[in-house]
Amino acid sequence: MNKTPIEAAALAKELLAAGVDSPNADVVFCVPSIDIPVVIGALSGSNIAVGAQNIHYKNAGAYTGELSAAMLSDIGVKYVIIGHSERRQYFGETDETVNLKIKAALAAGLIPIACVGESLEQREYGVTIELVRLQTKIAFSGISAADAAKTVIAYEPIWAIGTGRTATSEQAQEVCAAIRALIGELYGAETAETIRIQYGGSVTAGNANELFNMPDIDGGLVGGASLNADFSKIVNF
């Protein structure tokens, strides 16, 4: 929840000028819903896509304050973050609603960025891999291989979000590899190779190079470091 529409448009233009529209990376700005129209306008002519931070899983109805996938698609949104840990923690998001929202996004032609990850307590209990596999299995329940291949999965250890703590590249690689292995079990090797798996959790210009060079980390779900021009260093690492 950062940036008014005026501020968001200014930041988008600043980031464009800093070189984030790279031919070597797919870049998506996932902005607060009220900022979406002005950011789409500010990015006109670039290759940067715009995403939303959440959707409802119903197409329409008595769900005051919510936005449907069709509404977002209609104004030019291409991606949507689903199941971010903050949505789970503060707004009651569950693995089951994540599954419903992924299906709704795909039906509307949006690309879901499905988030999974463990708390510090869960990591210390040694259940990270089991938990992330469970979250991923439920998230993709009833989804075809063709649709799964379009989806992005973001591994975001909750204990590393906004804390300044970052999973080591080895820790992040271990979990991302486990996610890819599970996708292989569910859908086969081709889908596992095609699907994009990101790391999210205090990604910075200082650690992006090491993280993104891991074999099973295909990019980053970047938070605070995307709010200034240094984001271009992450895109162009």
Query: Mind telling me the catalytic residues?
Result: 84, 156
Sign, CA dihedral 61-83-138-72, equals positive
Residues in contact with 139: Cβ distance below 8 Å, sequence separation at least 6, in sequence order: 83, 95, 98, 99, 102, 114, 116
Q: How far apart are CA 66 and CA 57, in angstroms?
A: 10
Report residue 236: phi and psi, to 5°.
-110, 35
Residues in contact with 208: Cβ distance below 8 Å, sequence separation at least 6, in sequence order: 220, 233, 234, 237
* Amino acid in position 137: K
Beta bridge partners of residue 52, listed in sequence order: 80
